[in-house]
Amino acid sequence: MDEALTEAPIEEHFVIRFPPGLANALRDPIRNRNVPVDLEIKQDARSGKLTFKNKTYNTTLVDLPCITESLKTIDNKQFYKIADVSQMLIVHEGRYSGPKDYAWPDGLTTPLKDVRNRRFRKRMSKKVIEDVEAEVERLLTADLEAEDVRYEVHERKEQDEDEDEELSGQMGESDGEDDDLDLAAAIDEALDKDEVEANAQDAPDESEEEEEESGEESEEPEEEQDVDENNELKNQMNTLKHEIQALEAKLAEKNQLAQNQVNEIMKERFKGIVNKLSMELVLKREQLEKLEVEIRNEEEDQ
């Protein structure tokens, strides 16, 4: 290999945001790939000058809260990732009035307005973590050296509960990334509740058991006992049919929700619910078939 060959250049991409008037004037030249713009960046790599049609604008390079992938295509069919865009060059007149640390709060689109403060938690400084660890160690050491330990249980005041509710509401607005997990947990809880109700319906009632015991103790003719057993089987079959109809309706509803979901996490959750309901429906239908066979046998014996 030729040692004189230099390494491939590294592409660095950033977004340029122009003022509305300048953006309209530059739109057509950019589409025609003929942009008469002079760009000069100062040594600090944060501020610079941009000249267009003999007019000079100030520029400031800021850090975006999100990373945007930059793609290119050759045949308008396949796309190739070529860079990560994490900075934006703002063209403005006058002095820069944004954040002093150049951490831009907004994303590139309208839904990402103030996303840095709404969605992302503030990082805890290393000093705060060290102070907390030192305080925990001090408390543990003091507890070991103590000759007598006494603790008291204090009831929470209503004012503290109201403050906790307000704090949880604010955290709910700021921590938007946990919404899908909370919704998934609620769905799992509802599904568990449905399973408990279904098991409760399947379980025989105490009154029915008492009736069966009293029926065994009483000396009734065999024909009357056969009729009662047949009626009981028919009642069980009717109840099972209603449960199957309810399961089919619920299965259709959950299946529709799974198809309409855009979030992949929620879609997988609903698919799991659909699978559980399908298995339960198969078991119910098998029970119904067994009951129908048993009823036919009872009628033939009579």
pTM here is 0.40
274 pLDDT higher than 70: yes
Please tell me the predicted confidence (pLDDT) of residue 174.
Answer: 45
Average pLDDT of the residues in 138-151: 81
Instruction: Give the pLDDT confidence score for residue 63 in this predicted structure.
Output: 92
Lowest model confidence (mean pLDDT) among 39-53, 84-98, 205-219: 205-219
Instruction: Express as a percent the part of the chain with pLDDT over 90.
Output: 5
Whether residue 173 has pLDDT greater than 50: no
Residue 189, pLDDT > 80, answer no
- Determine the pLDDT at residue 125: 82
Write down the pLDDT at residue 88. Answer: 92
Q: pLDDT tens, 235-270? A: 888 888 888 888 888 888 888 888 887 777 778 888
Question: Mean of the per-residue pLDDT values for the chain?
Answer: 76
- Using one digit for the tens of pLDDT, what is the confidence trace for 16-44? 888 888 888 888 888 888 877 666 656 57
CA–CA dist 178, 168 (Å, integer): 13
Tell me the range of 104-113, 115-124, 216-225, 257-266 where mean pLDDT is highest: 104-113
